[in-house]
Structure 1
Amino acid sequence: MNFQDWFKLFQEQILNTSLIEWLAVGFGVTEVLLAKKNSIWLYPTGIISILLVMTLLYSANLYAEIVLNIYYLVMSVYGWLIWKNQENHHHKEVRWSTRKEIVIAVSISVIGFGIFYTALINLPEHFVVAKIDIFFTKSDVPIADAFVSAFAWAGMWLLAKRKVENWIFLNISNIVAIPLLFHKKLPLMACLTTFLFIVAVFGFFEWKKIINENKLKLA
């Protein structure tokens, strides 16, 4: 596809995007911007975005993808509770990860990759569980798909722990997701992910700045 074809596809996707999809995107973007500012409000906005996405997936009968979003929902609630507890004790400090936390994050990425890759290459497109028809979107690039999801898993865990490295793991996921989305002929989502990548870069330096400012206050 040439640039003109991509642009035409981009226009078509914008015109065909439903209100619920726009709301999901809007809340998703707001979530990342609030995370950059180290604001606890990232979690309620993120939860709304996830619930909207799950509604769209349910309408499309994509139940297996809903399972993935349930993880994001659980991690969002988990992160919200942790951040709320920290703020109740007037403790909103951003920190670098310990060696143990880095090992855990890498382990989440590796194990998550194995789970996703195995599912992507082995699960049929359609199967029945408890008389419910389950539809699963097959991937022609299972390695890339599994990689993106696995690093997003680890990034969300680090975000819940208020660790600076969450931005690194999330952007490792984003940098692979951008060409992957173009490959899947989803230029609108690719552009959105590019925006999120840029915000995450600024988020990393913003959180690093917060740590340095806290050090100066203690000096």
Structure 2
Amino acid sequence: MNDLYQGFLEGLYQMTWLEGIAVFFAVLSVLFQKENNILVYPTGIISTAIYTWLLSREHFKLYADATLNAYYLVMSVYGWVYWAKKRPQEPVVPITSSNGRELITAVLISLGGWGIFYYLLRHFSDSNVPVMDAFVSATACAGMWLLAKRKLENWILLNISNLVAVPLLFYKHLYLTSLLTIFLFIVAVFGYFSWRKEVQQSEITRL
């Protein structure tokens, strides 16, 4: 327990101002996501752009995480444009549940991405946790795709990713980022129920 505390203090001491900005905007982004606010994307773009650069540096060598953040960055731009599309009498694209085809696509993204990330990490990096690292990245990619399409089930896949990421980050002594991930997990739970309530209300309105 003392080692964990000391590791946390060391992580806090070593945190750069740039990392602090990335964490700040990551927190803002997930709070905007929970509130179904389009600002989820500009704040997310700032955070993911910083993390993409930081994690790819020689000091960290977290190339898979850097790639994932680059994907987040691209999907954030796509999602921002997609959400902002005007609909008759609707300011943005409405929240809906995923249909069967979309769920199958999300599963395929998760499984296919897991295999691809694992292969790359196993054969082209010095990663000592390729299975878990690949799984976290793949499920997060699938969740981000559903988020961009404003699908309720995005929260489930993102939290599956978060659930596996927490012990992985602790194992790598990334204590601050693991605490951020725990926070994101909790917010995502509330986000799911908030979005589900909106979906249910929308279905009642259509009846």
- Following the alignment from structure 1 to structure 2, what is the Cα–Cα distance between the partners of residues 168 and 160? 14
Which one of 148, 153, 170 corresponds to residue 165 of structure 1? 153
Relative distance call for 1:180 and 1:57 in structure 2 (3 A) is closer
Which one of 13, 17, 20 corresponds to residue 19 of structure 1? 17
Relative distance call for 1:86 and 1:63 in structure 2 (3 A) is farther
SS in 2 for 1:140: coil
Matches within 5 A, 1:41-190: 41-60=39-58, 62=61, 64-65=63-64, 66-86=66-86, 90-124=91-125, 138-190=126-178
- Following the alignment from structure 1 to structure 2, what is the Cα–Cα distance between the partners of residues 192 and 103? 30
Once the two structures are superposed, residues 38-59 of structure 1 have per-residue CA deviations (whole angstroms, 9 ceiling, x without a partner) of: 1111000000001111232354
Q: Structure 1 regions of 5+ residues with no counterpart?
A: 125-137
Worse-matched range after superposition: 147-156 or 206-215 = 206-215
Q: Structure 2 regions of 5+ residues with no counterpart?
A: none
- Following the alignment from structure 2 to structure 1, what is the Cα–Cα distance between the partners of residues 164 and 62? 24
Query: Number of residues paired by the alignment?
Result: 204
Relative distance call for 1:76 and 1:200 in structure 2 (3 A) is same
- Following the alignment from structure 1 to structure 2, what is the Cα–Cα distance between the partners of residues 83 and 31? 15
Query: What is the Cα deviation at residue 86 of structure 1?
Result: 4.2
SS in 1 for 2:76: helix
- TM-score normalised by structure 2 residue count: 0.92
- TM-score normalised by structure 1 residue count: 0.87
- Following the alignment from structure 1 to structure 2, what is the Cα–Cα distance between the partners of residues 158 and 58? 26
Once the two structures are superposed, residues 159-196 of structure 1 have per-residue CA deviations (whole angstroms, 9 ceiling, x without a partner) of: 00000000000000000001111111222211111110
Which residue is equivalent to 2:191? 203
- Following the alignment from structure 2 to structure 1, what is the Cα–Cα distance between the partners of residues 116 and 164? 18
Highest CA radius of gyration, 1 or 2?
1
- In angstroms, what is the RMSD of aligned CA positions? 1.8
Which one of 31, 44, 68 corresponds to residue 33 of structure 1? 31
Q: Decide whether the 8 Å contact of 2:84 with 2:92 is kept in 1.
A: no
Relative distance call for 1:186 and 1:91 in structure 2 (3 A) is closer
